[in-house]
């Protein structure tokens, strides 16, 4: 029992995920209890156990102002880390020539941490057609995981009106998804909880971008303070809880090798697309 529970403590980010899996353990068939690896593109299987919560016989979907307050309360523990991450983006944006207005607008309309870091690095002045195409394809590739994340919420949100569903989905993040799924597994049905979580994190993300950008304009060489390592450290930290043995790390190695090779052959950021595609395809051939 203890060893089985220990496995789930390595689910990404998160006490939220491990708590949720512990709740669902008796409901999920044995063959589905083990979550597979997470390759550069998250696979549908990774969301199966979590989506069971949304399919559980909980309360029907509804919307209330009390749910907004509950969502804001649930989001509070994540705000300090979120603020630091947003400030780091502000620093990177300033160092890559984005104005304060451009950085804030990117945080407001894009609201996707990893993609914003990538977009800031790709940013050029003046913006060319080739740069726009590269920016679009690369950020879309990084954000493909949200297709599966939002799909896992359909059993809960599918029957609700569009005016209640799409605002919540537009502010969806990984922490918000985990917290709202945990709320749903406990029997909750208020869609406003999902929106409340997203609204609070969105506001904090935008606000924290501003001081980060101010600091970035004052730092002549970000390497002196290790600010150029923000993104490598972030993605490395994401990989640690995903480790499930050497065999499951094979797609990581393939993705890394392909991305590195492509970076020497093709200029620009296409190595991200190539590495993500190669890693995801190779992961599909590694069975449980």
Per-residue pLDDT at 258 exceeds 90: yes
Mean pLDDT of 241-258: 84
Mean pLDDT of 196-222: 90
Looking at per-residue pLDDT, the higher value among 237 and 161 belongs to 161
**Domain-wise residue ranges, the chain:** 1-244, 245-288
pLDDT exceeding 90 applies to what percent of the chain? Answer: 24
- pLDDT for res 230: 65
**pLDDT tens readout for residues 67-106:** 999 999 999 988 988 888 898 889 889 988 899 999 999 9
Tokens describing residue 46: 């990774």
| 28 vs 7: CA distance, rounded Å | 15
Angle at 147 between CA 145 and CA 151, to 5 degrees: 120
- pLDDT for res 68: 93
Per-residue pLDDT at 55 exceeds 60: no
Looking at per-residue pLDDT, the higher value among 120 and 14 belongs to 120
- pLDDT for res 78: 85
């Amino acid at each position: 029992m203890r060893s089985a529970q220990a496995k789930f403590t390595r689910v990404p980010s998160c006490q939220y995920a491990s708590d949720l899996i512990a709740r669902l353990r008796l409901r999920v068939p044995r063959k589905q209890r083990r979550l597979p690896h997470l390759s550069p593109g998250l696979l549908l299987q990774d969301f199966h156990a979590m989506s069971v919560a949304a399919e559980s016989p909980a309360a029907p979907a509804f919307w209330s102002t009390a749910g907004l307050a509950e969502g804001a309360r649930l989001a509070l523990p994540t705000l300090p880390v979120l603020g630091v991450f947003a400030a780091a983006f502000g620093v990177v944006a300033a160092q890559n020539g984005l104005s304060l207005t451009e950085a804030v607008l990117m945080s407001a309309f894009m609201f996707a941490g990893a993609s914003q870091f990538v977009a800031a690095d790709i940013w050029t002045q003046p913006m060319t057609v080739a740069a726009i195409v590269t920016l679009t394809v690369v950020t879309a590739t990084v954000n493909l995981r949200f297709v599966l994340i939002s799909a896992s919420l359909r059993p809960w949100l599918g029957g609700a009106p569009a005016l209640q569903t799409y605002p919540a989905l537009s502010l969806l993040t990984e922490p918000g998804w985990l917290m709202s799924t945990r709320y749903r597994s406990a029997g909750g049905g208020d869609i406003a909880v999902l929106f409340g979580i997203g609204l609070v994190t969105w506001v904090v993300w935008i606000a924290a971008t501003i001081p980060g950008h101010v600091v970035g304009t004052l730092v002549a060489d970000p390497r002196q303070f290790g600010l150029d390592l923000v993104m490598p450290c972030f993605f490395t930290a994401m990989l640690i809880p995903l480790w499930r043995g050497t065999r499951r790390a094979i797609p990581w190695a393939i993705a890394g090798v392909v991305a590195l090779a492509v970076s020497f052959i093709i200029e620009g950021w296409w190595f991200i697309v190539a590495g993500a595609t190669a890693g995801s395809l190779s992961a599909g051939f590694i069975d449980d």
